[in-house]
Structure 1
């Protein structure tokens, strides 16, 4: 399971309706609601600046949070909707769903590359291009992997690492059926350029022009 599920601190919101929501926004808070998990919905307020920072990092809707609200037990939640102002595009309301340990969710799991010291391609000065630093997996909320591991041992220039080469943690499943690329190993640009220079140019036949060849060209043109 992931070593660190980020904490998300919130305040319980007293009162409901548009009036309470407007009051929260005046206090630099963003109103929200926590629902699901066979419990009553819990109205909350989130610090505006903290929410903006988290939204700017991306993946907010696919990140599992440990929600901390004073007076309530910590609960794992995932964002299901962020409502925004139609003019300013700033968050005005956030919906969270409680998750059980057995709940299935889609999350982006980071990929860690190991075995660089035993990778012939990198020893020769090759370049690794990472296509997918993260992979979206279907996971259970109670058993989220911290990372996926891609082993570079023995890989040569021109080799490709696909998702089938990575052992997925138990209880997870990829969201894409095809065998997609994680990273590829290519020759360094200097080596690739020198190889291009080494290629011999195609031979071009040169025909010298004289009176006879000119007359032949005229005859063919007249035909």
Structure 2
């Protein structure tokens, strides 16, 4: 079961840009809790605590119990805004999560066993197409990451989501198949293959040309 982390917050009496700026001047980050058929709840978070929590990683795939003056709200972060210059939090959106709910989340993709890939051993490069993948997951069992095994992968291979074993209860949230990575040939090998192909084509053309009679 996914561990639920704790956050403390205070209710905001006022909303709007002016109130949000006042919260930031006071060393707090404005936020909102919404969803589950209930009215949105404006809150504010301790600036130092929420900054540390965001930069600890996995923020958007972590469940939280947000304690708003003694009342706990089971939520997952849906979005957050950072200052474009300082990269510090300006606002956070939380979605209420009911017991037994299924969520769509973007889960990081990790590529493992590169040393067991013949294509990479030959000098091929792993070209990562998707660093995250959209999945439908049980709220109480959100995976930290999806591991993609590169064992046996050759140059020219494409790795698709459909070939990856997903945890129990987890399904793709996209329509069709998603390409996660490809293994591309090194430039030297590409040039050698191109030269070979050109030579073969020239030989075939020469063989097909009738010899001139003297």
Aligned to 1:192: 190
TM-score for both structures, normalised by structure 1: 0.66
Aligned to 1:151: 149
Aligned to 2:103, the other structure's residue is in SS state strand
Aligned to 1:193, the other structure's residue is in SS state helix
Q: Which is further off, 27-36 or 176-185?
A: 27-36
Which of 119, 122, 132 matches 1:121? 119
Q: Which is further off, 29-38 or 160-169?
A: 29-38
Aligned to 2:32: 33
Provide the aligned length of Structure 1 versus Structure 2. 198
Aligned to 1:132: 130
- Contact 1:101–1:143 (Cα < 8 Å) also in 2: no
Q: Any stretches of 5+ residues in structure 2 without a counterpart?
A: 83-87, 206-214
- Contact 1:101–1:140 (Cα < 8 Å) also in 2: no
Aligned to 2:119, the other structure's residue is in SS state helix
Q: Distance in 1 between matches of 2:81 and 2:150?
A: 43
TM-score for both structures, normalised by structure 2: 0.69
Q: Deviations over 1:134-156 (max 9, x none)?
A: 11101121111222222222222
Q: Any stretches of 5+ residues in structure 1 without a counterpart?
A: 85-89, 205-223
When the two chains are superposed, the root-mean-square deviation of aligned CA atoms in Å is 4.1
Aligned to 2:209: none
Q: Distance in 1 between matches of 2:79 and 2:154?
A: 45
Please state how far the C-alpha of 1:175 moved relative to its aligned partner: 1.5
Aligned to 1:141: 139
- Contact 1:128–1:186 (Cα < 8 Å) also in 2: yes
Query: Based on CA coordinates, which of the two structures has the bigger radius of gyration?
Result: 1
Q: Residues 159 and 67 (structure 1 numbering): CA distance in 2 closer, same or farther, change over 3 Å? A: same
